[in-house]
Amino acid sequence: MPDTPPNGPRHVAIIMDGNGRWATLRGRPRLFGHHAGARRVREIVEACPDLGVRYLTVFAFSTENWKRTQTEVAGLMKLFRRYIEREAKALLTAGVRVRFIGDRIRLDERLVRMMDDLELMTSGNDGLHLTIAINYGGRDEVTRAAKRLAYEIEAGRLTHKDVDAETLARFLDTRFLPDPDLVIRTSGEARISNFLLWQSAYAEYEFVDTLWPDFTAAEFGRVVAGYRARDRRFGAVRA
Ligand code: FPP
């Protein structure tokens, strides 16, 4: 795939919000919106290469989403399984490398097996790096990383002197990813909802009013173009 242009963004992360409202507006159950949302994922994935986006991370299910009704949670889990089943072949042939972040401990075994298989199956790909966050929460991720780090110290493999930002980052779910350059949230909500808290320290944010099932590749392209016009200084003064 083409290289990212010098003014990026190389890594885009998306909070795909608004599926429920989109369905309610149509008098349909919330899951109808999630299904429409899944179709948009495909379109946005396909748009990435031409925009020079090499890494795309999408927030599919948060550690807080378990609070939804049992019907919605079960429907979403089924949708994730169906997505993997239906998209695996196309992702593989398109050169997409898929990985999942989040705590797998609470997910059903069948889904975890499918996630593992898709990761393995696409592990040789080096096109778009697609990361799907399921049962993911930024605080939970940092807590799990700190726990693993503490374990390494207890086991004598590290000491407290080794603990710095770089070492901690090696224990995060995202250890294989660069930090996101741009975080997009759809549906008009201006919150980050526990998404990539550590990794987004210097990210640019874009909040768009469009509900996720209506977020087209054309709008994605406009948001990316808007990012390119921004002046990122990472705390420094412009040269
Ligand atoms: C937020 O909208 C969306 C979710 C919690 C689920 C996201 C899932 C998908 C887009 C579909 C599947 C994704 C993949 C990668 C297969 P909401 O339900 O909070 O909407 P609302 O704020 O309008 O209620």
In the predicted structure, residue 6 carries a pLDDT above the cut 80: no
Q: Considering 3, 7, 50, 65, which one is annotated as catalytic?
A: 65
- The pLDDT value recorded for residue 8 is 79
Cα(91) to ligand 1 centroid in Å equals: 21
- Taking the domain 11-137+180-226, which CATH number applies? 3.40.1180.10
The mean pLDDT value of the chain amounts to 96
What is the 45 CA–ligand 1 centroid distance (Å)? 16
In this predicted structure, which of 7-11, 122-126, 198-202 has the lowest mean pLDDT? Answer: 7-11
pLDDT single digits (tens) 28-65 = 999 999 999 999 999 999 999 999 999 999 999 999 99
What pLDDT sits at residue 238? 62
- Whether the predicted pLDDT of 102 surpasses 90: yes
pTM of the model: 0.95
Examine the residue annotation and report whether 17 is marked as an active-site residue of this protein. Answer: yes
162 CA to centre of ligand 1 in angstroms: 39
Pocket lining: 16 vs ligand 1, CB cutoff 6 Å: yes
Determine the pLDDT at residue 235: 72
Q: Per-residue pLDDT tens for 151-194?
A: 999 999 999 999 999 999 999 999 999 999 999 999 999 999 99
Q: What does the pLDDT read at residue 230?
A: 84
The answer to whether residues 184 and 16 touch, using CB atoms and an 8 Å cutoff, is no
* pLDDT(108) > 80: yes
- The per-residue pLDDT for 239 is 57
Nearest CA to ligand 1 atom 18: 20
SS (H, E, C) the chain: CCCCCCCCCCEEEEECCCHHHHHHHCCCCHHHHHHHHHHHHHHHHHHHHHHCCCEEEEEEEECCHHHCCHHHHHHHHHHHHHHHHHHHHHHHHCCCEEEEECCHHHCCHHHHHHHHHHHHHCCCCCCCEEEEEEEECHHHHHHHHHHHHHHHHHCCCCCHHHCCHHHHHCCCCCCCCCCCCEEEECCCCCCCCCCCCCCCCCCEEEECCCCHHHCCHHHHHHHHHHHHCCCCCCCCCCC
